[in-house]
Amino acid sequence: MNAEVEGCAAAERFRHDHRLGLQPLGDLVAVIEQSAGIDVAVLDAGPDEHGLTMRDPQRDTVFIGVARTRHPMRQRSTLAHELAHVVFGDWADNDTCDWSASTPVESRANVFARHLLLPVEGLKAFLVEAPEVNLATLSAVVQRFLVSPQIAAIALEQAGCIDPDTKRDWMSVTAPQLAVRFGWSDQYQALQTDSDQRRAPQRLLARAIQGYAEGVVSAQTIATLRGITPDNAVKELREAGIFPAQHPVSWTDPGELPDVQLDLNALDDALNGTDDAHETATEPNAR
């Protein structure tokens, strides 16, 4: 396996097949859900847990989960990395459960993520009018493509824009440092807020809301998926003009019941017959 070649080719093919061109990818969760048809969730997780891909072989469905984090660029890399496992069908069992081990499969997924988020040709097109490449250029690439400085530095070297020594120096720079130094810290803080929010799979949530509108799914279910209170869920749905349908049960309406004619004479005859039989049975005791 040549991780660099295979990962790069798969990323280029994914962009081509889904008409993503060479432009920066915006909301990566939406891109994955809409282009690949994969359910994606942003979940509460431990500090050392970044992402996981799960597949149901019987239903052939795939689910990607990533952790909430204050590191938006890392979350995007994790999403792209997990997408690589789906693209390559990396479903082999791992008996050791050492998911973070450095293996050719993991290296290939890292390469895929790097080229998916920052295609070298797209980088060249972005820098075509740049008079020189310096730290401000690195900041512009990070801000434009929403990648880590490490990914940007590797791509800049592959594009022939910097030498290995410069790449090595820039690999130690962080996105928050660039944001503060070059005036886009407000944008970075907004990215942090967005990446630190729980997020339900869009298709699953849409189906649940449809069920709510049809009166077969509770507001509690919507609230659980969203990670909010039922009252807030109902408020949001009402503001969007979504209300649970009311399904009247026709057979419970008294007006729909048929008229019933009761023959009380037949009941009297039956009761009289019972009295006569009782009297006959008690006559021997009377003597």
Is pLDDT larger for residue 95 or for residue 286? 95
Reported as a single tens digit per residue, the pLDDT across 148-198 is 999 999 999 999 999 999 999 999 999 999 999 999 999 999 999 999 998
- Any residues with CB less than 8 A from the CB of 123 and at least 6 apart, and which? 141, 145, 155, 156, 159, 161
| pTM score, whole prediction | 0.78
Question: Please, which residues bridge with residue 32 across strands?
Answer: none
- CA distances to 2, 145, 173, 200, 205 from 76, in Å: 24, 10, 18, 16, 22
Q: Quick check: 221 pLDDT over 50?
A: yes
Chain length of the chain: 287
pLDDT in tens, 247-270: 766 555 666 667 766 666 766 676
| Alpha-carbon span 185 to 112, nearest angstrom | 28
